[in-house]
A and B are shown apart, each in its own frame.
Chain A
């Protein structure tokens, strides 16, 4: 049971815009930054979004993050086949005094 809640799956067709949600509480998302990572099969996760909506250099602007209250979202526009991966949200949790992750969302490009 993950501290942050994500839908287990999402899908879209090439060119579409998809969003992945991440729900938490006041001890994590509500009071701290949200991060997003994506993970291709058999590889290590890679940072996609930090500080709710900032992209590291090299991450296309097709990826965007937002946060409102105790929830956050990752949006992917102009969906491509190479976006097919697992996506994880993360935050610091003040109650646990540590990093917490969502359970992950498997994105399928149809």
Chain B
């Protein structure tokens, strides 16, 4: 059974960089089948796709966040990570990592439990 687990600080100061890691177990980020994604959800609001990374390192980002986002992968640790720079209160959200099978079009079939990140001084 594939499992994803987010980790990182729950509190980030305005203008600083938000950094989260997703650890994958029961599957490999090196699999050529999947795109490893980040999705966020502000409190009481809907879902927003942040971006994905393919194991070879190619990435795709939401245009609205592209200038501030970097997603990277560490195949040796079976992890992928999110960095979001220059955060503001608007970046306060639950952040989820998820597995996406774009080619087979089976959607986000596995999700992490999510981690709440609050941007506040």
A96–chain B nearest beta-carbon distance, Å: 6
Per-position contact with B for A80-110: 1 when CB-CB < 8 Å, else 0?
A: 0000000010101000111111111000000
How far, in angstroms, from A37 to B47 measured CA to CA in the complex? 10
Pairwise interchain contact B61-A98, C-beta atoms closer than 8 A: yes
Q: How many residues of B contact A (CB 8 A)?
A: 22
Closest 8 CB pairs of A and B: A99-B49, A44-B111, A35-B107, A50-B107, A101-B47, A104-B46, A103-B46, A50-B106
Pairwise interchain contact A101-B108, C-beta atoms closer than 8 A: no
A2 at the interface (CB under 8 A from B): yes
A45 at the interface (CB under 8 A from B): yes
Pairwise interchain contact A51-B46, C-beta atoms closer than 8 A: no
Q: How many residues of A contact B (CB 8 A)?
A: 24
Identify which of B46, B62, B109 contacts A98 (C-beta below 8 A).
B62
Pairwise interchain contact A99-B96, C-beta atoms closer than 8 A: no
A56 at the interface (CB under 8 A from B): yes
Pairwise interchain contact A51-B47, C-beta atoms closer than 8 A: no
Identify which of A33, A45, A90, A103 contacts B111 (C-beta below 8 A).
A45
Pairwise interchain contact B47-A104, C-beta atoms closer than 8 A: yes
Pairwise interchain contact B60-A51, C-beta atoms closer than 8 A: no
